[in-house]
Structure 1
Amino acid sequence: MSTIERRLLPARPDLAAARLRGLVEADRFVEPRPMRVASYCAPVRRAPRRDAALDTEALHGEDVDVFEIDDEGWAWGQLLTDGYVGYLPADDLTARAAWPTHAVQAPRTFVYPAPDMKRPPLGALPLAARIHVSEPAAGGPYLSAEGGFVFAAHLRPLDAVVGDYAAVAEHLRGTPYLWGGRTSSGLDCSALVQLCLSSAGRTCPRDSDLQAASLGRPLEATGERAGLVRGDLVFWKGHVGMMLDAERLIHANGFHMMVEIEPLDDAVRRIEASGGGGITHLKAMA
């Protein structure tokens, strides 16, 4: 199975999604069980083990089609947000109920047991988490949601989009680098891009190679890097960053081990010197 198939195709030699019958070989074909992420964030691993590689993370409120839950409590399924396939702790999932109405637009926001910031919080929701607001705002700063109360200014209706998605990246500056991470506790280069573009209502794949193949419009002159503007994407093999203007790049990277802003020329020289190669794609996103 190719890398792309492993990531995006819900098929194993022993089990596959029923919709793939006749397209792939498998011992069994099953219909999906519709579920939703109930924890604040759920790891999506490459194998059903806690020490297996972290491929990505599923955020609170995201929908998952589950094809199997094994005796060890691992759910094998596909995220509907970006099509990623992997193993999640079944305890982090629940049946789909009321549809989400809002998304978190702050890097992270607390859920309180009462509309009072002095109360110990129940937990914290990450950027892009989806929640169902059970009661509209009644003049106060909090909304009733998720069995508690969330600061209203940290939320946006799902049908409202962010105009300047590069500003989302700027708000995440300093976030630690985490391979496979997708929250303000830790994220990787492609997750930063995905979170920013999804806030603007744009569909975005999870990994940088898929993003390079499907996003934006190619710009000419990768050597001269002409024509870059705020929000455009720059790709290397296995890496992606976002331009803040014609000269500055913001990216989650292993050199700084966090989301950092630096001149694009500096990043190009360093990545080439470390053996990472040159720029592979420049993509205009406007």
Structure 2
Amino acid sequence: MTDRRMTPATDRVALSSLRDVMMREIYTDGEPARVSVPVADLLAQPDGARDRQLNFGADVTIIEKRGDLAFVQAVRDGYCGWIRQADLTDQRPRITHRVSAPATHIYAGPDIKQRETGFLSLNARLSVVGTEGRFAQLAEGGWVPLQSISDGFASDPVEAAESLIGTPYLWGANSRQGIDCSGLVQAALHGCGLACPGDSDLQRAAFAEVEDMRRGDLLFWPGHVAMVCGDGRMIHATAWQMRVIHEDIDSAIARIDAAGDGPFLGINRPGREEISF
């Protein structure tokens, strides 16, 4: 069965690459666009629930426009869904940096006393066109602190995940304002330049199962994922505490099993497939 989350097609329009795979009224090569707001919801249906979120600077391919929404496929992980057209722009200057801090503000000018005009989360993609003092100027307008951005990827997914400790749990979310279990894992791996699907079942299917447990491995339950930190601990975004926390692995396995949310499904090791900056 085709997984709608990863299928770039609506009930009437599909990407041209699917021409010999599924029947649709219209086939299109798609239209490139970029997320222009701090965080945008990706909906399962035009009037449906949030599946995931896309952060500022995420590139997408528009497949169909319908009313004030557009059906898109995210370039980085292939996830598909409906997004507000107002949250997209056709302006796509060259990406030079990413937000490397858990979050940062956009300022009206290169001064911390200036009024903030926006909020950006870890891994937001930026086009820096200049610097002044301790600030970088964005092509889209506004300034961000140089301390909060990087022109490269991090090296340790666990450290990237741990930078989001305390972030509120929010189902289907992908930002410092709110994040869920699979969003945390994806943010950690993307922050290190590694490919990662958006949902926990897709992550489990994408990565090889292993017997031994190492730092950075992923632990899976039905509908849930955590990352191994070492020393018997894991990190995860959990509705149990409604935030990103550390937890003892053995205790977590027992607690989740006792709550009827098990069983523990096993350990998978993220691959080394790289993503573009």
Shared fold (TM-score greater than 0.5)? yes
- What is the alpha-carbon distance in structure 2 between the residues aligned to residue 201 and residue 191 of structure 1? 15
SS for the counterpart of 1:122 is strand
- Name the counterpart of 2:274: none
Check if 1:201 corresponds to 2:193: yes
Check if 1:262 corresponds to 2:247: yes
- What is the alpha-carbon distance in structure 1 between the residues aligned to residue 253 and residue 125 of structure 2? 36
- What is the alpha-carbon distance in structure 1 between the residues aligned to residue 266 and residue 206 of structure 2? 11
Instruction: Check conservation: 1:212, 1:281, Cα contact below 8 A.
Output: no
- What is the alpha-carbon distance in structure 1 between the residues aligned to residue 210 and residue 264 of structure 2? 12
- Name the counterpart of 1:275: 260
Instruction: Check conservation: 1:64, 1:79, Cα contact below 8 A.
Output: yes
Check if 1:161 corresponds to 2:153: yes
Instruction: Check conservation: 2:10, 2:64, Cα contact below 8 A.
Output: no
- What is the alpha-carbon distance in structure 2 between the residues aligned to residue 107 and residue 115 of structure 1? 20
Deviations 1:222-274 (A, max 9, x none): xxxxx423211111111100111140011001111111111011110111111
TM-score (norm 2): 0.93
Q: Spell out structure 1 runs of 4+ moving beyond 4 A.
A: none
- Name the counterpart of 2:141: 147
- What is the alpha-carbon distance in structure 2 between the residues aligned to residue 201 and residue 273 of structure 1? 36
Gaps in structure 2 of 5+ consecutive residues: 272-277
Corresponding letter in the other structure for 1:190 = S
Report the CA distance between 1:285 and its aligned residue. Answer: 4.5
- What is the alpha-carbon distance in structure 1 between the residues aligned to residue 38 and residue 270 of structure 2? 30
Q: 1:104 aligns with which of 99, 102, 114?
A: 99
Map 1:1-286 → 2, pairs under 5 A:
2=2, 5-49=3-47, 52-71=48-67, 73-135=68-130, 137=131, 140-145=133-138, 146-157=140-151, 160-215=152-207, 217-220=208-211, 227-285=212-270
SS for the counterpart of 2:251 is helix
SS for the counterpart of 1:119 is coil
Report the CA distance between 1:60 and its aligned residue. Answer: 0.7
- What is the alpha-carbon distance in structure 1 between the residues aligned to residue 10 and residue 86 of structure 2? 23
Aligned alpha-carbon RMSD (Å): 1.4
Report the CA distance between 1:218 and its aligned residue. Answer: 2.5
- Name the counterpart of 1:223: none
- What is the alpha-carbon distance in structure 2 between the residues aligned to residue 13 and residue 113 of structure 1? 43
- Name the counterpart of 2:275: none
Corresponding letter in the other structure for 1:256 = Q
TM-score (norm 1): 0.91
Report the CA distance between 1:153 and its aligned residue. Answer: 1.3
Instruction: Check conservation: 1:234, 1:242, Cα contact below 8 A.
Output: yes
- What is the alpha-carbon distance in structure 2 between the residues aligned to residue 97 and residue 229 of structure 1? 39
- What is the alpha-carbon distance in structure 2 between the residues aligned to residue 282 and residue 119 of structure 1? 47
Report the CA distance between 1:15 and its aligned residue. Answer: 1.6
Matched pairs, number = 270
Gaps in structure 1 of 5+ consecutive residues: 221-226
SS for the counterpart of 1:179 is coil
- What is the alpha-carbon distance in structure 1 between the residues aligned to residue 153 and residue 82 of structure 2? 30
Percent identity reads 38
- What is the alpha-carbon distance in structure 2 between the residues aligned to residue 282 and residue 94 of structure 1? 40
Corresponding letter in the other structure for 1:144 = Q
Deviations 1:6-34 (A, max 9, x none): 00011233221111101111122122011
